[in-house]
Structure 1
Amino acid sequence: MTMALTEQERDLTDAVRAWAARTVTSDVLRSAVDAETEERPAFWSSLAALGVLGLHLKEEDGGAGCGLSETAVVAEELGRALVPGPFLSTVLLSAVLDEAGRSEELAALADGSTIGAISLHPGSLRLTSDANQSVLAGASDFVVSGQIGDLFLLAALDAENKTVFVLVPRERLEIAAVESYDLLRRNATATARSLALEPGDILSIDARRVFDLAAILFSAEASGVADWAVRTAGDYARTRRQFGRIIGQFQGVKHRIARMLIRSEQARVCAWDAARAADAGAPPAEVSLAAAVAGATALDAAFTLTKDCIQILGGIGYTWEHDAHLYLRRAQTLLLMLGSTASWRSRVTVATLAGTRRSLEVELPPEAEQVRAKVRSELAAIADSDDADRIRLLAEKGYAAPHFPAPWGRGADAVEQLVIAEELASFSLVPYDMIIGNWVVPTLIEHGSPEQVEKFVPASLRGDIRWCQLFSEPGAGSDLAGLSTKATKVDGGWRLQGQKVWTSMAREAHWGICLARTDASVPKHKGLSYFLVDMRNSPGLDIRPLREITGESLFNEVFFDDVFVPDEMLVGESGAGWKLARTTLANERVSLSNDSSLGSGGEALLSLAAELPSGLDAQQSAVLGEVLCDAQSGGLLALRTTLRTLTGAQPGAESSVAKVIGVEHIQQVWEVAMEWAGPSSLVGEQPRSSAQHMFLNAQCLSIAGGTTNVQLNIIGERLLGLPRDPEPGK
């Protein structure tokens, strides 16, 4: 998996990955590890020949005229391969110089003839200035690639104790190699002995912008490190056998690696978005927020996942010979060089409390405007109609579910669906939300008889029919293959006997879709059939409300006591119920949220934070920042899913990962909200919008529709190729 989305980015990924596999062999890595001091890599000229050192620079400055997005793609790949050397320091230096408007050195940095070295920490470096000159004195102790650098970007403190950045060539500094934790990209101490600087050597760039650029590139490399950790752990867990089984079959191992994948995808999507924000010319505050989210997410993920990888590997991961410790050293070095995770999370909090939000808009292709004219004309006519007619007209024109095939929808592709969503919003038109019907109607369109389609589909799209889903049973929650409700064939139809549970909207629904077992002699999935049950007029049907932990009764138990379902209400063939229940239309729904990039939960927590009488302390600020990073990463995962559809890229892991992140994010939001509310959340009558009620209600999210543990199994088995759980008794 990679952050590359476009064809150009995917080609770039393939080229860099092939170069790394061919050039940076295990012998090359180990030679760099064993060297007493860092030397310019023998492969440096071939890396420069790929053109990757100047991708983000303008062509007149020796670059390729692309952007940081392409440079981030390269950084991710080089991080995945743990390529030694000064790539990161060189491209960060050139990006800073480009931003500061200093172009003299860019061509040499782009062609690799000049190597950049950077330090983001002032150490004892001080810059003093008077009317005549500026003088740099002191030492910077943590200069990345300082042992081989030619041109140094150094942080220093000025007379007002503010961080400034200066540019100094190697020959004006005293450079001393130091023992370095990262054995493949080493540090040096750079000492300045009262150096007189020219005005241009003090860069005209805000220190925050330098840290933003560093966060973008550091997080991209960290994304590659994180991905290596996930792949290495997964590969090992697929082959290592202990206690008579492949260890990836043990849920403790499988779920840990699945969660590693989730963290890795968060790292990738946040790094990708930070580079994307910088390239898109977003407002500086928005770029800074995106960079802060990346800095708070990706580096901590890489550090955590390399530790997890070593634990999955066991003893072999603790050996000097395995590369795992080299990746751990790189991940932790990136984290400590950029600054603590808590500090970056607090930056996210400060930015969002100040009103900054990340825009998640999609730039549609030119053909979208051809679609827009017709859509706008039709929706304008609907908007001018009476309120009572709008829902009906939207359904009749295919706007209730544009992705459905005509005549029920419009057979809309991804571009048309997004255009329709924008135009609906512009006219304040809201089609009827079928809720459960969104799963029912596609199945009927695909597998229903003409009579079933005519009876149910138009009415469902208009909202004249509401649906409920009768799947879960006391003995079969997520495991639908274990259903025991029986359907016995009788003259003219079927008799249903059994019990369903956790059925939402059972009391409000007109009809329900019911899976029942019609053949007990075949394997579990094959003996199920798909019925349509009249919830209002079926003798023997007993609906009983279930009281939940909130005190409300949104769910129900439904008892079938010899309930008759006529033959014409069997969908498809007998025994095909499992296939029908999993139906999705080839032209799937594409959407983008019109809400804040932080979601309703993130915005609710921000509102609560703004109302705290004494404000946020440091710990609360970091906690809020973490919650907001999870919120934004969820929105970004959804955005990448949409962009994959628009660009024709292969499906990624984003949608599966987003489900877990989204559920756990909402639960965390209301847990934090209750903590901040303190004892007042424990007494008195609490409204449905209170933190108490929302916290309790959120506990069902990791159960309903398939538990989080089941989702982790799916991620482990389908995305990582880990072996399936053993059959019971085996």
Structure 2
Amino acid sequence: MSIGITDEHVELAASTRKWAASLAPLTAVRAAEGDPDARFDDVWGAIEEMGVHAIGVPEAAGGGGGTVLDQAVALEACAHELLPGGLLGAAVGSLVRGVPGRHAVQVRPGGAVWDGGGTLGIDLSARHADADAAATAATVGPGSSGGEADRVRLTAVTLAAAEASGVARWCLDTAVEHARVREQFGRPIGSFQAVKHLCAEMLETAEAVTAAAWDAACAADGHTEQWSYAVDVAQAVCFDGAVEVAKSCIQVLGGIGFTFEHDAHLYLRRALSLRSLVGPSDVAAARLTAAAVAGVRRRVEVDLGGHDEHVRPQVRATVERVAALPDEARRAALAEAGYLAPHWPAPHGLGADPVTQLVIDQELARAGIERPDLVIAGWALPTILQHGTDAQRERFVRPSLLGELLWCQLFSEPGSGSDLASLRTRATRVDGGWSLSGQKVWTSMAERADWAICLARTDPDVPQHQGITYFLVDMRSPGIEVRPLREITGRRSSTRCSSTTSSCPTTASSVGPVTAGGSPARPWPTNGWQWRARGSARASNARSPSPQPASSRWWRHGSATRSPLSTVCSLLGVRTTLRALGGHGPGAESSVAKLLGVRSRQSAAELVVELQGDAIATAGAPDRDDEGVAADVWELLNTRCLSIAGGTTQILRNVAGERILGLPR
């Protein structure tokens, strides 16, 4: 995925890439290597003719009349082809001054002048002058007003982040293509798990870079406080991220990547140059920390473009009617209206399109109504609706929506986690039903659940990934033993379940075809697109034993690596929602959301504990109030399960490598 989400931006990116490639940019870069004063005038002439540097300038001033986001989409595409010259500096200068031109722009005191001139640095595709040596350049810097200088900085980081996204995308594409075809030991290297995981990690980072760059460009046309926050997230994420992806690209390429003849080092050079121009990420992190302490959060609004006008009045009226009810009556009213899961088919949902789903979410939030969490029922009911019988749908769906039936999941086993093919629990036909025999583990809520969804092997004579059937099991059945399992937090939150006694026909029934494999366990593709933009991670509000945490380099480093990631995770959800609103399926950002979300939750919990200092070692002293410390430690320990439950991080990276990047098994 690139920055552009809409059809118009996707087309703009594709056409700009094609145009940039037609200029043979890498040939021009290599031809100019021995000339430190080269300004790539031929390339600049083509840029000026196309007006690429002035897309965001008003038409009345001779520009393209587009938005900052339009400009960012074009710059990302040009960076993907490593277009040389002063495009970035010219685009920044044109946006700041409101007129097209090949302007010099001083981004920060003592920094470089981004004018496409000057001397050769690490980036062979651009020339930059030292600010102190460019006395005659038209600059916006030390002598400017604070507001003007800040606007230059925000604009420069925004557009530089777009270039960083283009660099990261090229590096990811190049590494993956090489991993697909390069053979070692008789196999494509992309089939080796180490390489596959490295490529998947590149995908995670590239998606984070793209999301942060997109948001900075989107925020440029809004409130300055929000733009500043989005830009600081971009500065904390995009440039280190682009450098890391570029380095990983060279690693995947191996020896060929270390040669001067391959283009990979040119992209690494551009990434390093961009990072040096915008400054270190921990400076942005310090600003984010101060903003978070002041209560600032990134608020992303989805513009529905009037497509909600036909549905909003009815939704608002329904929600207001529900809001007027007593708390204990609201769940039933939401279920009756189809608002608990509006993307489900009627009569239990509305079969709602993405716009309607989003409007329902917005109106519920406006009314202060929070949907009850269906927990495991949210997994079980879609399967019953799609694969179950009429009798099963009648018996289970509505009572579960109302909270009258609680569910648990019997999937994992002592010897089987993500690998369902190794399941040992057996299901054998008996008169009128099935007999289940085996053990399940890590079953949350089993001690309270009424029913369970269960996978069991029904045919041992077929390949292991087949011969598995999806069952509904009455947890009150004779022969089912539930034993508490103490977790690393010290609490007894999950259980081990054993079944050794035959279940009668009314207590265990199959869903979907017998021996259908694990397919019924996968819900239908019409997923909900509910968007819930969350605030920053708890780390943003963590209390610190230090009296001045924002001045601590340690604090800034922790914030730089943790706090911005929580914002990126929310942005991934917003981008998925916007793609759905445009009629497109989920992109790669939806698939990496869990991987990045887990990392965010775990690292945020770790930061909170780190901020407690030695309090975690001395907790329990008679003169201390350690309730908060204990809660923070519990959160740290508890979040360790997130990279295991629901598919381990390593398995999900295998899936991302194979299904998204197309790497061989």
Q: TM-score, normalised by structure 2?
A: 0.94
The question of whether the paired residues in 1 share the 8 Å contact of 2:180 and 2:190 is answered with yes
| Corresponding residue SS for 1:362 | coil
Residues in 2 aligned to 1:201 and 1:93: alpha-carbon distance in whole angstroms: 16
Letter in 1 for 2:638: N
Residues in 2 aligned to 1:179 and 1:367: alpha-carbon distance in whole angstroms: 51
CA gap of 1:27–1:613, structure 2 versus 1, over 3 A, is closer
Give, in angstroms, the shift of residue 215 of structure 1. Answer: 0.6
| Corresponding residue SS for 1:382 | helix
| Corresponding residue SS for 1:206 | helix
Letter in 2 for 1:88: L
Matches within 5 A, 1:372-391: 372-391=312-331
Give, in angstroms, the shift of residue 193 of structure 1. Answer: 9.8
- 2:51 matched to 1:116? no
Tell which deviates more after alignment, 190-199 or 482-491. 190-199
Letter in 2 for 1:188: A
The question of whether the paired residues in 2 share the 8 Å contact of 1:41 and 1:84 is answered with no
Deviations 1:152-205 (A, max 9, x none): xxxxxxxxxxxxxxxxxxxxxxxxx53422111112357779879999996554
The question of whether the paired residues in 2 share the 8 Å contact of 1:353 and 1:610 is answered with no
Give, in angstroms, the shift of residue 577 of structure 1. Answer: 4.6
Give, in angstroms, the shift of residue 456 of structure 1. Answer: 0.3
Residues in 2 aligned to 1:25 and 1:387: alpha-carbon distance in whole angstroms: 64
Residues in 2 aligned to 1:574 and 1:198: alpha-carbon distance in whole angstroms: 73
- 2:562 matched to 1:592? no
Aligned counterpart in structure 2 of residue 607 of structure 1, from 518, 528, 541: 541
The question of whether the paired residues in 1 share the 8 Å contact of 2:576 and 2:590 is answered with yes
Letter in 1 for 2:553: A
Give, in angstroms, the shift of residue 671 of structure 1. Answer: 1.2
Matches within 5 A, 1:288-303: 288-303=228-243
- 2:183 matched to 1:241? yes
Letter in 1 for 2:464: K
Tell which deviates more after alignment, 199-208 or 86-95. 199-208
Give, in angstroms, the shift of residue 263 of structure 1. Answer: 0.8
The question of whether the paired residues in 1 share the 8 Å contact of 2:25 and 2:83 is answered with no
CA gap of 1:356–1:444, structure 2 versus 1, over 3 A, is same
- 2:495 matched to 1:556? yes
Residues in 2 aligned to 1:199 and 1:661: alpha-carbon distance in whole angstroms: 37
Residues in 2 aligned to 1:190 and 1:399: alpha-carbon distance in whole angstroms: 59
| Corresponding residue SS for 1:573 | coil
CA gap of 1:352–1:520, structure 2 versus 1, over 3 A, is same
- 2:306 matched to 1:361? no
Residues in 2 aligned to 1:349 and 1:263: alpha-carbon distance in whole angstroms: 22
Give, in angstroms, the shift of residue 491 of structure 1. Answer: 0.8
| Corresponding residue SS for 1:469 | strand
Residues in 2 aligned to 1:34 and 1:196: alpha-carbon distance in whole angstroms: 25
Give, in angstroms, the shift of residue 26 of structure 1. Answer: 4.3
Gapped regions of structure 2 (runs ≥ 5): 621-625
Deviations 1:23-64 (A, max 9, x none): 225433322334453133323333333332221111111112
- 2:642 matched to 1:707? no
Give, in angstroms, the shift of residue 396 of structure 1. Answer: 1.6
Greater relative contact order, per chain length (Cα 8 Å cut-off, separation 6+): 2
Residues in 1 aligned to 2:220 and 2:264: alpha-carbon distance in whole angstroms: 32
- 2:37 matched to 1:37? yes
CA gap of 1:469–1:310, structure 2 versus 1, over 3 A, is same
Residues in 1 aligned to 2:141 and 2:492: alpha-carbon distance in whole angstroms: 70
Deviations 1:355-391 (A, max 9, x none): 3221122122323132121122223333333443321
Give, in angstroms, the shift of residue 619 of structure 1. Answer: 2.2
CA gap of 1:79–1:196, structure 2 versus 1, over 3 A, is closer
Give, in angstroms, the shift of residue 289 of structure 1. Answer: 1.1
Runs of 4 or more, structure 1, over 4 Å off, are 189-205, 685-689
Matches within 5 A, 1:137-176: 142-147=112-117
Letter in 1 for 2:505: P
Aligned counterpart in structure 2 of residue 395 of structure 1, from 320, 335, 344: 335
| Corresponding residue SS for 2:499 | strand
Residues in 2 aligned to 1:380 and 1:643: alpha-carbon distance in whole angstroms: 26
Percentage identity across aligned positions? 43
Q: TM-score, normalised by structure 1?
A: 0.86
Equivalent in the alignment of 1:206 = 148
- 2:201 matched to 1:259? yes
CA gap of 1:431–1:264, structure 2 versus 1, over 3 A, is closer
Aligned counterpart in structure 2 of residue 679 of structure 1, from 598, 614, 634: 614
Equivalent in the alignment of 1:276 = 218
Give, in angstroms, the shift of residue 146 of structure 1. Answer: 4.8
Equivalent in the alignment of 1:533 = 473
Equivalent in the alignment of 1:509 = 449
Q: Tell me the matched-pair count.
A: 656
CA gap of 1:565–1:54, structure 2 versus 1, over 3 A, is farther
The question of whether the paired residues in 2 share the 8 Å contact of 1:76 and 1:220 is answered with yes
Letter in 2 for 1:638: G
Aligned counterpart in structure 1 of residue 597 of structure 2, from 662, 670, 683: 662
Letter in 1 for 2:515: G
Residues in 1 aligned to 2:371 and 2:115: alpha-carbon distance in whole angstroms: 58
Residues in 1 aligned to 2:139 and 2:122: alpha-carbon distance in whole angstroms: 34
Deviations 1:110-149 (A, max 9, x none): xxxxx223333544xxxxxxxxxxxxxxxx8x433453xx
Residues in 1 aligned to 2:361 and 2:485: alpha-carbon distance in whole angstroms: 37
| Corresponding residue SS for 1:593 | coil
Residues in 1 aligned to 2:376 and 2:159: alpha-carbon distance in whole angstroms: 44
| Corresponding residue SS for 2:105 | strand
The question of whether the paired residues in 2 share the 8 Å contact of 1:144 and 1:185 is answered with no
Equivalent in the alignment of 2:623 = none
Q: Work out which of the two has the higher radius of gyration on C-alpha atoms and give 1 or 2.
A: 1
Residues in 1 aligned to 2:187 and 2:504: alpha-carbon distance in whole angstroms: 46
Matches within 5 A, 1:317-336: 317-336=257-276
Equivalent in the alignment of 2:53 = 53
Residues in 2 aligned to 1:666 and 1:488: alpha-carbon distance in whole angstroms: 42
Equivalent in the alignment of 1:215 = 157
The question of whether the paired residues in 1 share the 8 Å contact of 2:563 and 2:604 is answered with no
Equivalent in the alignment of 1:112 = none
| Corresponding residue SS for 2:643 | coil
Give, in angstroms, the shift of residue 594 of structure 1. Answer: 5.2
Give, in angstroms, the shift of residue 223 of structure 1. Answer: 0.7
| Corresponding residue SS for 2:10 | helix
Residues in 2 aligned to 1:432 and 1:311: alpha-carbon distance in whole angstroms: 47
Gapped regions of structure 1 (runs ≥ 5): 99-105, 110-114, 124-139, 148-176, 725-730
| Corresponding residue SS for 1:690 | helix
Aligned counterpart in structure 2 of residue 642 of structure 1, from 577, 587, 592: 577
Matches within 5 A, 1:66-215: 66-98=66-98, 106-107=99-100, 109=101, 115-123=102-110, 142-147=112-117, 177-189=118-130, 203=144, 205-215=147-157
Q: Which has the higher strand share?
A: 1
CA gap of 1:198–1:336, structure 2 versus 1, over 3 A, is closer
CA gap of 1:424–1:120, structure 2 versus 1, over 3 A, is closer
The question of whether the paired residues in 2 share the 8 Å contact of 1:237 and 1:722 is answered with yes
Tell which deviates more after alignment, 642-651 or 464-473. 642-651
